[in-house]
Amino acid sequence: MQVLTSGQYGIRFENSDQAEAFIRQMAGEVQKRLEAIDMVGRSITLKIMKRDPTAPVEPPKVRIFLYE
């Protein structure tokens, strides 16, 4: 069984305090979900992506239009 939580890849942190607060928030959410199903975790996977230095600081907005 897996218990998952995820954040958006467009999140940008200005300092390590912001990153730490975000990880603590995510860990709290996983803890809450595990307690709800009376389970404990055995391992954790953390995926971190780093922005390419040539990429724009603000990610472009994507609009999807559906036509029938």
pLDDT tens digits along 3-60: 877 777 667 788 889 889 988 998 899 899 999 999 988 888 888 777 788 887 776 7
| Cβ-based neighbour number of residue 57 at 10 Å | 6
- pLDDT of 10 reads 65
Amino acid making up residue 67 = Y
CB burial readout 22-32, b (16+ within 10 A) else e:
eeeeeeeeeee
Residue with tokens 């940008």: 12
Q: HSE-up of 58 (CA within 13 Å, CB side)?
A: 3
Angle (CA) 48 53 57, round 5° = 85
